[in-house]
Amino acid sequence: MKIGNKLDSRGFTIVEVAVAIFMLVAAFMGVASTTVMVVNGNAISKMSTTASALASAKMEDLKSKSFTDANLAAGSHADAENPLQGFYTRSWSVTDVMDASGMGVSYKTISLTVTWNGQNSSRSMSLSTLKTNSS
């Protein structure tokens, strides 16, 4: 509407409305993609935390066993007692290190690995420790 030589500027033009809508849509798409990344990151973090707890619990169990326990025999071992079998796999290997005389085992190296599938890829976490023969 024209008032004298001036246009009535009380409303918005269709171009202004279209630009505002485009800017809002672009902002919401940015927020949505960030939300998806945060949710995926939280899922990976939860799986890693669970794997860490499983690894720590099993490592403490192995460290508490006697030096001659079957679970500490040299070689590779699969964990049949894994509480989350199917989602996580726990396994460990034990290496005997002989003493200077070569007649007995001085200590054992224990390497424990927890593996799982997350976010379309295989992931793993490893812990290692030494167990000495205290006898």
Predicted confidence at residue 7, as pLDDT, reads 63
Two tokens, residue 66: 């006697």
Report which DSSP code applies to 102: S
Q: Look over the chain and give the mean of its residue pLDDT values, rounded to a whole number.
A: 88
What kind and span of H or E run contains 118? strand 105-118
Give the pair of three-digit tokens for residue 70: 């079957």
Q: What is the pLDDT averaged over residues 22-37?
A: 91
Residue 23: pLDDT band with limits 50, 70, 90: very high
Say yes or no to pLDDT of 105 above 70.
yes
Number of domains within the chain:
1
Which structural domain, as residue segments, surrounds residue 108? 2-132
Quickly state the pLDDT bin for 118 (edges 50, 70, 90).
confident
- Residue 6, pLDDT above cutoff 70: no
Q: What pTM was estimated for this model as a whole?
A: 0.72
Query: Does the pLDDT at position 47 exceed 60?
Result: yes
Residue 59 binned pLDDT confidence (cut-offs 50, 70, 90): very high
Owner of token pair 């690995």 = 113
Confidence of residue 2 (pLDDT cuts 50, 70, 90): low
Under 8 Å CB-to-CB from 3, ≥6 apart: which residues?
Answer: none
